[in-house]
Amino acid sequence: MTTRSSPMHDPGRVLDAARNALVGLPPLLDAMLADLDDDMARNRPTADEWAPIEILCHLRDEETEDFGARLRAVLEGAREFAPIDPEGWVQARRYREADLGEVLGDFRRRRDASLALLASITPEHLSKALPQRRLGQLSGLDLVVAWVAHDRLHVAQLAATLARLWATRWAPLKAEYAGPIPYSPGKKDG
């Protein structure tokens, strides 16, 4: 079996594609969360899954403290990335107590600033890299691609959470007629 190496992607195309993808998340979140009341925003579908507000707070904080900060570190020639603790932030920053409207507004402002940063970058500078504990060298291009993937992973998580919360809200009506509903209702956490 032969292994083909991946061709190097054009940094300008990667950057343009990422900016186009990243611009779409705030309006998508607005649409997904438009009818969500405060109680549902804080409700977890299971004890080990995040509530919608926790997902949104995570996206807000990762926007500047992970992806934005790490991309700046690469571009500015830092020696290493600053440590982060996204999972620890959920409790330490009391995400479940946050106000949904405020968090959405703050995320939108941070995303606008991130898009301005991305618009200011010379694509060739994205080839610079820093060491990352788990993955080895992580370039600016890696970060930009991962940023979009991160958005999409959390949109999927949010959609699954909202589906379970909706089905649970209307039980015993048979929401599962729609198809398999994520997360077992027997593990609900209020």
pLDDT digits (tens, 9 = 90+) for 95-136: 999 999 999 999 999 999 999 999 999 999 999 988 788 888
C-alpha 89/C-alpha 54 separation (Å) is 10
Residue 186 confidence (pLDDT): 61
Domains and CATH numbers, the chain: 11-187 (1.20.120.450)
Phi, psi of 103 (to 5 degrees): -65, -40
49-58, 107-116, 175-184: which has the minimum mean pLDDT? 175-184
Residue 3 has pLDDT above 70, yes or no: no
CB of 48 closer than 8 Å to CB of 93 = no
Q: How many CB atoms lie under 10 A from the CB of residue 95?
A: 21
Please compute the mean of the pLDDT values over residues 53-80 and round it to a whole number: 96
Phi, psi of 43 (to 5 degrees): -85, 135
Please compute the mean of the pLDDT values over residues 142-159 and round it to a whole number: 97
